[in-house]
Amino acid sequence: MCGFVGFTNKIDNANQVIENMMDTIRHRGPDASGKYVDSDIALGHRRLSIIDVSEQGNQPLYSQDGNLVLVFNGEIYNFKTLRAELEKQGYEFQTQTDSEVLIYSYQAYGTKMLEKLRGMFAFVIWDKKNKILFGARDFFGIKPLYYAKMGDALLFGSEIKAFLKHPAFKKELNTSALEEYLTFQYSAMDETFFKNVYKLQPAHYFIYQNQKLTIQRYWDVNFQADEKPSLEQWVKEISKVFHESVQAHKIADVEVGSFLSSGVDSSYVAAIADVDKTFTVGFGKDEKYNEIGWAKNFSKAIGKKNYSKIIEPEEYWGELKHIQYQMDEPLADPAAIALYFVCGLASEQLKVVLSGEGADEIFGGYNVYSEPNSTAYDKLPRGLKRSVGAVAQKLPAKRGVNFFVRKGKDLEERFIGNAYMFSPEERKNLLKIKTNAPEPTELTAHYYKRVANQDEVTKMQYLDLHMWMAGDILLKADKMSMAHSLELRVPFLDKEVMHLAEKIPTRYRVTRKEITDEHTPYITKYAMRLAAKQDTPQETAKTAAKKKLGFPVPIRVWLKEEKYYHIVKNRFESNASKQFFHTEQLIQLLNDHKNGKADNSRKIWTVFMFLIWYAVYFENESYAFAG
């Protein structure tokens, strides 16, 4: 695991600029650094040594003829197989790293090389002779890759913050990204919160030549249910492919550990990974926010040592600025901060950790996936439901009314992902500024179009795989782990696991309670849970049915306490807040929450995190730990 930066176009002090950019991402690779600079390009790399920890593995790496230059972030899990194939074709390797297979795969197969890879990756290859820059991002977006066109220069790299060190970089806030963020809770657009800075989307590559940038998708999820196998056969296949994936994700020349919560995903990973150490964090003593006791018992049952930490409120709040700095763009997911702390805990012991991200999106694990056709009302004619919904929308919002409003809308109108903070109308009323932000449904429309013929559960999964997972789940996984120089690997997000999961019929992903037996009172991730139950020690097998908590954070409780209420209130009354928002509305949200009139915690947190991020990146507030 590493980080890289680079830029095209000649500047007089290219060597010093690339060094400054590399220093900004030192946390991604404290073990070694390297650079390549010529009259056309500058490349910089920071290395966290995982495979072939000798100096031979340092980057940039070069082809044997010296023409190709590589900088790479990630892991290629099938590199030994690829290396053997390439050696048969006459390619000679100089190192034992997985990185070098990318160079010769590119020589042998061109852009088609991406179809052969299995792993998580972002990389660029510079072809000196033809002056072509080739870059790619992995299938799911586990590893980040940003780019920016500033004047005649193309900047690219693992983190946006490095771009700020380039003399051509112009720092401007993208207010359209802010408006979308208020709905999604993460940066949902291709363009980031910085104007003219973009995310290369998952499963895409770019080619840059003669100052022209071409971007192409090379892979996509393809849900095609196979109705022939029985449930028992699917469970067996899930167990087989996931065992194999976990073993592939353990390839390393250093120790590997595992995160552990009380949910089935991380428990499944930990149970079959055969690592020595697991890591858990929690808050206080309330079991709603603290899974440490459960994790210790589970770890004992599988014969492993659990390391745990209780996060004090002062620690959590004290690290908010540093965390938003590390994130590059604001993220309002409270679990990101908990993830930051568990990554810090693990980094005290080792360099690589396994985690359970992706299982919900791939196997159908979110509760909202059980919503379609869940009531008799769903079977009524669409026109009738829409008419009732239109009437209900004019009534004051409350639980029963909201049901009819929601059921009166088509999926494509109501579901934009797992988070829905402010509606388009609410965000426009809240913002003082005017933006060109599209409606949320405009961002989701082209994903829905690709799966127009699928059932509603599959449509939701497909959307979450492409937006929520990359924009929230994997963003925080990469940035929070790399903040501690820790490599986080996600064996559920494997091309072979996905290839199996996309064939599982919907009824075995999300099923109905009446067709499950009394010992399996769950309806989401059905087949995967059965597989996990088989692979989990009998005394702890109940985890397969346990409701997922993830990293639960008591922000709704804290925001009612005077100390934290006033921290947020002061930020809501700041000059920056007055620049963007109608602050009287923010204070109303905060007061209504404090007084128990409504649970506004997530909306409050969404705005608060943006203001923290803005203070760090645009007002130069210190992001050092304040605890």
Could you list the active site residues?
2
Sign of CA dihedral 558, 564, 565, 567: negative
Contacts of 12 (CB under 8 A, 6+ apart): none
Rounded Cα distance, 374 and 403, in Å? 12
Q: How many Cβ atoms are within 10 Å of 263's Cβ, its own excluded?
A: 22
Contact 120, 102 (CB under 8 A): no
For residue 405, what are the contacts with CB-CB under 8 A and spacing of at least 6? Answer: 389, 392, 393, 397
* Residue 338: its H or E element: helix 335-347
Q: Cα–Cα distances in Å, from 384 out to 377, 391, 394, 413, 562? A: 10, 11, 16, 17, 48
C-alpha 319/C-alpha 449 separation (Å) is 41
Which DSSP symbol is given to 434? Answer: -
- Separation CA 230–CA 395 (nearest Å): 47
Question: What are the start-end ranges of the H helices in 201-291?
Answer: 231-249, 264-273
Q: In whole angstroms, what is the distance from residue 159 CA to residue 44 CA?
A: 12
Distances (CA, A) of 167 to 12, 22, 31, 35, 621: 11, 15, 27, 18, 21
Provide the 10 A C-beta neighbour count for residue 394: 8
Angle between helices 175-184 and 440-450 (to 10 degrees): 70
Exposure b/e, 204-218, CB count within 10 A at least 16 = b = bbbbbeeeeeeeeeb
Integer Cα distance of 444 and 463 in angstroms: 7
Tell me, what amino acid is at 96?
Q
| Structure tokens, 4 | 């890289």
- What does the alpha-carbon distance between residue 327 and residue 161 come to, in Å, rounded to a whole number? 9
Reduced 3-state DSSP string for 365-383: CCHHHHCCCCCHHHHCCHH
Report the DSSP beta bridge partners of residue 206: 135, 215
And the tokens for 613?
Answer: 């991020």
Check if the beta carbon of residue 284 is closer than 8 Å to that of residue 554: yes
Listed residue (445, 406, 497, 420) closest to 142, CA to CA: 497
For residue 76, list its beta bridge partners. 119
The three-point CA angle 277-349-254 to 5° equals 85
Please identify which residue in the block is written with the tokens 């849900």.
223
Q: Give kind and range of the element (H or E) at residue 209.
A: strand 204-209
- Angle, helices 601-618/583-594, rounded to nearest 10 degrees: 130
